[in-house]
Structure 1
Amino acid sequence: MKFSTPLKLFSVSCLVAWAAVNCGAPEEDKETEKASTSASETSTSTGGSTTTQTSGSSGSSGSSCTATANTTATNTLSTYGCALLTRDTTSCKASREAQGLSGFWLKFSCSVTLTKSGNNVVIATKNLPDTKSFYYSSTDACYEAFSSTARKANPNKIASKTVSLTVPYAPTAAATASATPEGIIGVALNGVAIYDNSAAPGDDIFNEEATFDKCDGHPDMSSTYHYHTEPGAITNSDSNFIGVLRDGFPVYGRNDYNTTTAASGLDSAGGKTGKTVDSPNTDVYHYHLNLQSNGTKSAYFISAGYYKGTPGTCTGCQ
């Protein structure tokens, strides 16, 4: 298990009171001068043109949250009340199959653009969750109030961010595992960025968990919404497909395929060779959510902090 910075522990009372007084909060979450709780405008340049985006906005109009389109809530709820979702991908299935994509690639939401290019797949996303969140502006259709004594919002807001990852279609293991960087290390099936098991420099990821929303994500100071740990809208104590890391290897839930027990025999990168729900007859290398602890707190992280393979390129990952 890799941590990029020394652990910094805070008292429980400090975390509960933090929303009001910012008592001992992680640096990422107390930069009030850099990330206001009110909506702010940012500009991004793509292909010579500049697009103005509003932080805290999903782009939805009227009273309907368009980000949640084509999703259906199940009765499976996380500890904090996030419903496990099913996603209708029928409208993009044929075009993906026509490119030669199959298996877990067909499970990506249609809001995510997949393009097979030679031996690679290009994944393009706007990085907006398909769940509601208190990290949107309160006037946004995708805003949802959330009250918990264990979790409080940081000052940042969600904003659309264009991200494009090029990953190997048939990944292979590198001679040695390599450490994952800060920022985006992969993408979940709903288009949300995946970060590793470390926090911003000077922070403790286990305390930073107190700033996750109901569905286990939060935005950083660049308004990039992301997951570090088990995302309740995608997986809940199961072996569901979660997403792909930048080395092209897929990530699955905490359990081994076709079992109700946590995956065993994981290597230092948090993966193993075995069967999955998308490869039930052939052993393939894949990652699992893996339980990590700082001695006091524990969580199921998406990444152990290493790539098994060679990561592809990414635009917008930092």
Structure 2
Amino acid sequence: MKNIFKLIFLTITVFSLNLACSSDDESSSSVADDVDDTDDVVVTELHAAFAEFNSDAVTVMLSDDGTDIYIETTGFPNHTSIYWHPDNELYIDESPQGVVKTTQDTYIGGGTGEASSFTVDASPDLDGATVATELNTIGIAVSGAAIFNDQEGAGDLDQAAGSLDYNGAHKGPGVYHYHLEPKSITNDDDALVGILLDGVFLYGRRDYPSNEYPSDLDASGGHFGPTPHNEDGEYHYHIINEEYNAPLYAYDEAIVLFAGPFQGY
């Protein structure tokens, strides 16, 4: 396994976090075994999709040898949420819709362990083995916030249902992160959602350019085809168009963002 699965949180206090989404969140780094990288594909410029990432939060750099991409983020999204401090211009009160915060005194930008960085291959290795997702960050959205899988601690996502905001996200008390389709980024369309730890981009539920739901997705919600950023086509993920126990949530629709497994290792 290549070192694209290396997730490094930037704060030294991260091991003291008590994230609501994981009983073992104190282990917030996943370091892959070192392998021979002589077969890495060399690229000369960043993928066009990176232009859509929130530049106030996300920094993307191509390695000098053109084989790796370094991604850093503050973890702060550029959209509204109940999880911002009430004095922040992006704060909205979602309690009338039924959202109950995980911890009432925890705010985006007011905790520890929110910034993170990781490295991905400039060209994902789609010939390797699939890898299951784990608790904690599995990717970064274009907003700058973290992407999590469909699990909440040791159980399923139902136990977090009431705390998820309009974007299917919450904070408790570590990183603000998405579990469900983030409506401010993609709302039943073909928009770019973000990039996952295997270097594969994640798009919305609909295919480009047909605007139809794709019918040839693999177990990860991925397939090869054109995207808004690559007309020639490439392997990419879609949010799978399957509703997840919506009656438990404050909002009408609940679509899991990504459950895995990763394909790009």
Q: Scaled by the length of structure 1, what TM-score is found?
A: 0.61
**How far apart in 2 are the matches of 1:284 and 1:134?**
36
Aligned to 1:122: 70
Structure 1 100/254 Cα, relative in aligned 2: closer, same or farther at 3 Å? same
Distance in 2 of aligned mates of 1:288 and 1:109: 20
Matches within 5 A, 1:55-70: none
Structure 2 spans left out of the alignment, 5+ residues:
1-9, 14-43, 248-252
The corresponding residue for 2:147 is 194
Opposite residue 50 of structure 2, the aligned amino acid is: W
Secondary structure of 1:105's partner? helix
Whole-Å Cα distance in 1 between the matches of residues 239 and 158 of structure 2? 15
Aligned residues: 213
Q: Structure 1 residue aligned with 2:52, among 90, 93, 107?
A: 107
- Give the aligned CA root-mean-square deviation in angstroms: 2.4
One-letter amino acid of the structure 2 residue matched with residue 195 of structure 1: F
Q: Distance in 2 between matches of 1:171 and 1:146?
A: 39
Distance 1:179 1:191 in 2: 23
Sequence identity percentage: 31
Q: What amino acid is aligned across from residue 265 of structure 1 in structure 2?
A: D
Q: For residues 273 and 205 of structure 1, do their structure 2 counterparts lie closer, same or farther at Cα, with a shift above 3 Å needed?
A: same
Give the distance between the partners of 1:213 and 1:296, measured in 2 at CA: 13
* C-alpha contact (below 8 Å) 1:206/1:294 kept by paired residues: no
> Which residue matches 2:167?
215
2:246–2:254 CA contact under 8 A, matched in 1: no
Distance in 2 (CA, whole Å) between partners of 1:242 and 1:128 is 15
Does the aligned pair in 2 maintain the 1:237–1:253 contact within 8 Å? Answer: yes
Choose 240-249 or 155-164, whichever is displaced more: 155-164
Closer/same/farther in 2, CA of residues 292 and 206 from structure 1, 3 Å limit: farther
Q: Which residue of 2 aligns with 1:158?
A: 108
In structure 1, the gaps of 5 or more residues are 1-42, 47-98, 311-318
Q: Distance in 1 between matches of 2:132 and 2:264?
A: 11
Give the secondary structure class of the aligned counterpart of 2:119: strand
Counterpart of 2:26 in structure 1 is none
How far, CA to CA, are the matches of 1:293 and 1:233 in structure 2?
18
1:299–1:291 CA distance, 2 compared to 1 (3 A): farther
* Equivalent pair of 1:177/1:269 in contact (CA under 8 Å): no
CA distance in 2, matches of 1:294, 1:137: 29
C-alpha displacement at 1:103, in angstroms?
1.5
Q: Is the 8 A contact 1:254 1:288 kept in 2?
A: yes
Amino acid at match of 1:299: A
Corresponding residue of 2:198: 247
Q: 1:44 to 1:304 in 2, by over 3 A?
A: closer
| Superposition deviation, residue 245 in structure 1 | 0.3
In the alignment, is residue 306 of structure 1 matched against residue 257 of structure 2? no
Render the CA deviation track for 1:65-85: whole Å, top value 9, x for unaligned.
xxxxxxxxxxxxxxxxxxxxx
Corresponding letter in the other structure for 1:163: S
Conserved 8 A contact 1:268-1:304: no
Indicate conservation of the 8 Å contact 1:131/1:215, yes or no. Answer: no
Q: Assess, with a 3 A threshold, how the Cα gap between structure 1 residues 152 and 247 changes in structure 2: closer, same or farther.
A: same
In the TM superposition, 1:22-33 aligns within 5 A as none
Structure with the bigger percentage of strand:
1
Q: Does the CA-based 8 Å contact 1:253-1:289 persist in structure 2? A: yes
Answer yes or no: is the 8 Å Cα contact 1:256–1:264 preserved in 2: no
Q: Secondary structure at the match of 2:223?
A: strand
CA drift at 1:144:
2.0
Corresponding position: 1:277 with 2:228: yes
Choose from 176, 179, 192 the match for 1:225. 176
Higher-Rg member (1/2)? 1
Q: Does 1:133 align with 2:81?
A: yes
- Tell me the residue number matched to 1:90: none
TM-score where L is the length of structure 2: 0.73
